[in-house]
Amino acid sequence: MATQADQQAQSGTGHQEVNHKSLLQSDALYQYILETSVYPREPEPMRELREITANHPWNLMCTPADEGQFLNMLLKLINAKNTMEIGVYTGYSLLATALALPDDGKILAMDINRENYELGLPVIEKAGLAHKIDFREGPALPVLDQMIEDGKFHGTFDFIFVDADKDNYLNYHKRLIELVKVGGLIGYDNTLWNGAVVAPPDAPMRKYVRYYRPFVLELNKALAADPRIEICQLPVGDGITLCRRIS
């Protein structure tokens, strides 16, 4: 039976469509990574949710499978227990996180669209992971401001993943740096932004890529200059920048 990857290859879509976020120049090389290292080890709930999301009209928003695998291993390596996710969509990266956390681990998950989250919720519930997730519908900034005002959440998060409105990434960072613990990690997704960060300003771009490009450039510049963090920008998916809080 043909795999989803085989069907994509035959249709000529490759990773420009569902998995377009890879910055590898060869579709065949990216497909090799997926078929050899990612799909064979992908937990069944993640495979199921990935295939559900592939049929959604906004499937380009889904975290790529190789990035989901990376996040899952990273969380295990740092022994994360208390985490946050801003921007959930159908919950693929959320599920990768929930699978990595211990049974008493917690994820504060925020998104402006509960309907998308509920597409993936049955898979999360079937996997027995729903008890780890505190989902909040609505903008994240007011929630973060309230947490900071309360005072008891400062330095309490082991890991925070941000994959939401790029024009607010710096606003998130100003708050999240107070909430993540010293030695903890913040991951900002899409920091290579379809390669647009190095494209000439007059290069052909999709409208949304052009609109958010200045915000991504501003974020990257600010993170590189922030003395409170160590950073590592990785060409996984559409680019993910890991920030380790050091002070």
- What distance in Å separates the CA atoms of residue 218 and residue 34, rounded to the nearest whole number? 32
**Residue 228 in domain:** yes
Buried-exposed string 196-235: b where 16+ CB fall within 10 A, e elsewhere: beeeeeeeebeeebeebbebbeebbeebeeeeebebebee
- Give the H or E element holding residue 10: helix 4-11
Query: What CATH number is given to the structural domain containing 81?
Result: 3.40.50.150
Q: Which two tokens stand for residue 214?
A: 């200045």
Please return the burial class of 13, using the count of CB atoms within 10 Å of its CB with bins 0-12, 13-18 and 19+: middle
Is residue 235 domain-resident?
yes
Is residue 226 within 8 A of residue 180, CB to CB? The reply is: no
Tell me whether residue 139 is in a domain. Answer: yes
Query: What is the reported pTM?
Result: 0.90
Is 209 inside any structural domain? yes
Number of domains in the chain: 1
Tell me the backbone φ, ψ of residue 243, rounded to 5 degrees: -120, 115
Number of residues in the chain:
247
Assigned domain for 238 exists: yes
26 within some domain? no
Dist. CA 22–CA 27, nearest whole Å: 9
Contacts 24+ apart (CB under 8 A), 119-122: 119/52, 119/53, 119/56, 119/90, 119/91, 120/49, 120/52, 120/53, 120/90, 120/91, 120/92, 120/94, 120/95, 121/91
Q: Residue 216: what pLDDT?
A: 98
- Is the residue at 9 inside a domain? no
Q: What is the Cα–Cα distance from 19 to 65, expressed in whole angstroms? A: 8
Q: Are 219 and 188 in contact (CB under 8 A)?
A: yes
- For 96-132, the pLDDT digits (tens) are 999 999 999 999 999 999 999 999 999 999 999 999 9
Query: Using CA of residue 131, residue 136, residue 140, residue 146, what is the dihedral sign?
Result: negative
- Please report whether residue 234 resides in a domain: yes
The chain-wide mean pLDDT, for the chain, equals 91
What is the domain range of residue 222? 65-245
By C-alpha distance, which of 176, 197, 194, 198 is closest to 243?
A: 176
Do residues 196 and 241 make contact, with C-beta atoms less than 8 angstroms apart? no
Q: Name the stretches of the chain with pLDDT < 50.
A: 1-19
Q: What is the pLDDT of residue 22?
A: 65
Which pair of tokens denotes residue 46?
Answer: 């993640």
pLDDT of residue 60: 84
